[in-house]
Amino acid sequence: MRRLTAAVLFAGLMCGAACSAPSPSGPAAASPPAGRSPAPEAAEPSEAAGPEGGRRGDGEAPAEFVALREAVPGVREDIRYAGADNFTGMPVDGYQEPACLLTEDAARALVRAREALAGEGLDLLVYDCYRPRRAVAAFLRWAADLSDTRTREEYYPRVPKTRLFEEGYLAERSGHSRGSTVDLTLVRADSGRPLDMGTPYDFLDPLSAPDSPEVTARQRAARDRLGEVMDAAGFGRARTEWWHFTLREEPFPETYFDFPVALSSLSSPPGALD
């Protein structure tokens, strides 16, 4: 793997830490009417009528998709939606394996980001990548069940569940379903210990905005470094979540896929990038 020139050592971040780009997906979806469940994507036709604005069914992934841990050996993953450690409190539909599937273009961009961090003793930890439409539909069902607040204290203590759409934390369509969006953080390369970003992953709160004034200077510096390296690698950042990035030149900007998150979904055997 050809190493890019490492960024200037991030001394303030590396010493003593606890171990804004607009959303490329556009404005947040409006909140559904109170007491009504938003129409889940799973109810729509499973096959696209055409290439633009299309939906793809639940079969095989396009040849452009790869498994990140196979394509980029050594990358760290903690795929939260494959288990119960997430804001729904349960494994999410469509995540058959704890795997990161991405378009090859996005995977190559993450290689560039990792190379830029290597000289600083930092690396990336990936929480989520491609997300099938059935998983988005599961989020919508969870949001419509106002009686289910078991994870509120941990994940959304200051934002009522009824406002998660209006505040931009949930939407009826997700850029993740296009295959070039990734949720991640910075970790120390030697230990894998995450840097302190001021909130945990998937904390649905204004505190998670990349430019939140409520975080400390050290936490803001960590967020800024993550944003800088991802921007240089070709990603745009969401306005509400410091961990959420979408490849600006994504290969499927109008297509939302629904094949399951599983290595068996790939159309060719997983392997390292050339």
Does residue 176 have a known ligand-binding role? Answer: yes
- Residues shown for the chain: 274
Selecting among 70, 120, 241, 250, the annotated active-site residue is: 241
Does residue 183 have a known ligand-binding role? Answer: yes
In the Cβ-directed half-sphere of 93, how many Cα atoms lie within 13 Å? Answer: 16
Q: Is 241 in the active site? A: yes
Does residue 231 have a known ligand-binding role? Answer: no
Whole-angstrom Cα distance, residue 185 to residue 123?
8
Q: Which two tokens stand for residue 24?
A: 């490329």
Whole-angstrom Cα distance, residue 60 to residue 75?
24
The angle that helices 217-233 and 104-118 make with each other, rounded to 10 degrees, is 130
Q: Which two tokens stand for residue 58?
A: 């639940």
Going from the C-alpha of 76 to that of each of 24, 162, 208, the distances in angstroms are: 25, 34, 22
List the catalytic residues.
241
Residues annotated within the binding site for Zn(2+) are 176, 183, 244
Residues annotated within the binding site are 176, 183, 244
